[in-house]
Amino acid sequence: MNRTKRLAIMLAGVLSLSLLAGQAMAQTGEPPQGRPKMMHRGEGMGQPDPARHLQRLTTNLGLTTEQQEKIKPILDEEAAQLKATDNEKLTGAERRTRMKELHGATFEKIRPILTPEQQKKHDAMRERMQDRNKAHQMKPAEAPAK
């Protein structure tokens, strides 16, 4: 068999395997293990989850049951307000500003409930989140060199 035919057969085989792998993944509807499922609009993307947020705060800050009971309604209120922004006709920048305002207000409501040590940890968590958000908002040309 000449080289061109062998190359064509190998290429067809690789293409077939790629298509079969894609079909198998499409049938299960699940991403390969080890990778998080990507969220698509309508599957909760951008939708707040107060229970998960409270769990994360509890784990990271060591919240007491009493603190959790005080913080839960604050997070529920924030989630409702964030969800309401979906119905508002806002530009992307306006939506980001509104979300930032809501997160800031929630942060300020939660802060007095925390102990001084928890406040320091919460401040650090917020700073990391803001840094991460700034990094995501940078345009490729503005991104810092590695």
Each residue's pLDDT expressed in tens, for the chain with a length of 146 residues: 688 888 788 877 777 777 766 666 555 555 455 444 444 444 444 556 899 999 999 999 999 999 999 999 999 999 988 888 877 888 888 888 888 888 889 999 999 999 999 999 999 988 888 787 777 766 555 555 55
- CA 26/CA 35 separation, integer angstroms: 15
- Residue 37's pLDDT is 44
Distance CA 125, CA 4 (A): 58
Beta carbons of 85 and 101 less than 8 angstroms apart: no
- The helix/strand/coil state of 66 is helix
pLDDT for the residue 48: 66
- Single pTM value for the model: 0.58
Write the secondary structure of 106-139 as one string of H (helix), E (strand) and C (coil). Answer: HHHHHHHHCCHHHHHHHHHHHHHHHHHHHHHHCC
For the chain, domain boundaries? 50-137
| Euclidean distance between CA atoms 47 and 41, whole angstroms | 9
Type of residue numbered 59: T
